[in-house]
Amino acid sequence: MDRASIHSERERVIVYVDGFNLYFGMIEAGLSYCKWLNLTALAQSLLKPGQLLADVKYFTSKVGNNPEKQKRQRTYIEALEEQGVQIHYGHYQKNSVECNRCGHIWPGYNEKMTDVNSATQMIIDAYRDNFDMAMLISGDSDLVPPIMAIHENFPEKRVCVMFPPRRHSSAVAMVAKGSYTIGRKKLVESQFPSEVKKRDGYILRKPKDWK
């Protein structure tokens, strides 16, 4: 069967996950117990009949200055990679946070480049004809311009948005060709088992703090 025939039968979907937008959306919604999330399973649960999951891409930054958080993140990312998820890293930028009341200043960190990296990957994949539909899991309004650019320059393709809990954006919904808010049920049903066995036999265990 040639490629054109395959395209006519199955709509190829690549899922782009804004890791921090999803993570903090779950935290704010009281879903901390859903952190051990199997993104491939979640992506599959969001597909409709006639769609084919072509890839899952996860955008995050490496946690710094906290060994326990680093260990938990590393374990989780290894579990994702075992499912074939592509990991794209941004970085943390150090800044200062000032208390408006007392004037005290302490160091803080902002996660950078997640939106730029996800926008770049979507446009590259559109140009390379790697998807028919891009499924974006994010509520970041900074992604409005790349969504519009894909629709304007690749009219045969579409970007649909799946909002994490507490992360709905009207601006994003307006430019997307379809939107949906991911509910608690799908997150709960898309968890990794407590132990994930890697191909080399090593066992990855769900962090105790995530139970």
CA dist 25 → 31, 41, 63, 142, 172 (Å): 8, 19, 18, 16, 16
Whether 4 maps to a domain, the answer reads: no
Does a structural domain hold residue 150?
A: yes
- Model-level pTM greater than 0.85? yes
Residue 1 resides in a domain: no
Q: How many domains does the chain have?
A: 1
Work out whether the CA dihedral 166, 88, 118, 191 comes out positive or negative.
Answer: negative
The tens-digit pLDDT sequence of the chain (211 residues) is 344 444 558 999 999 999 999 999 999 999 999 999 999 999 999 999 999 999 999 999 998 778 999 999 999 999 999 999 999 998 555 554 455 666 655 444 455 578 899 999 999 999 999 999 999 999 999 999 999 999 999 999 999 999 999 999 999 999 999 999 999 999 999 999 999 999 999 999 999 999 8
Domain assignment present for residue 75? The answer is: yes
Decide: residue 19, CB within 10 A, 0-12 exposed, 13-18 middle, 19+ buried: buried
* Domain range for 172: 9-210
**For position 133, which CATH number holds?**
3.40.50.1010
Return the HEC string of the chain. CCHHHHHHHCEEEEEEEEHHHHHHHHHHCCCHHHCCECHHHHHHHHCCCCEEEEEEEEEECCCCCCHHHHHHHHHHHHHHHHCCCEEEECEEEEEEEECCCCCCEEEEEEEECHHHHHHHHHHHHHHCCCCCEEEEECCCHHHHHHHHHHHHHCCCCEEEEEECCCCCCHHHHHHCCCEEECCHHHHHHCECCCEEECCCCCEEECCHHHC
Rounded-to-integer distance, Cα 178 and Cα 135, Å: 10
Specify if 80 maps to a domain: yes
Backbone angle region of 201, left / alpha / beta, with phi > 0 → left and psi within -120 to 50 → alpha: left
Note whether residue 153 is domain-resident.
Answer: yes
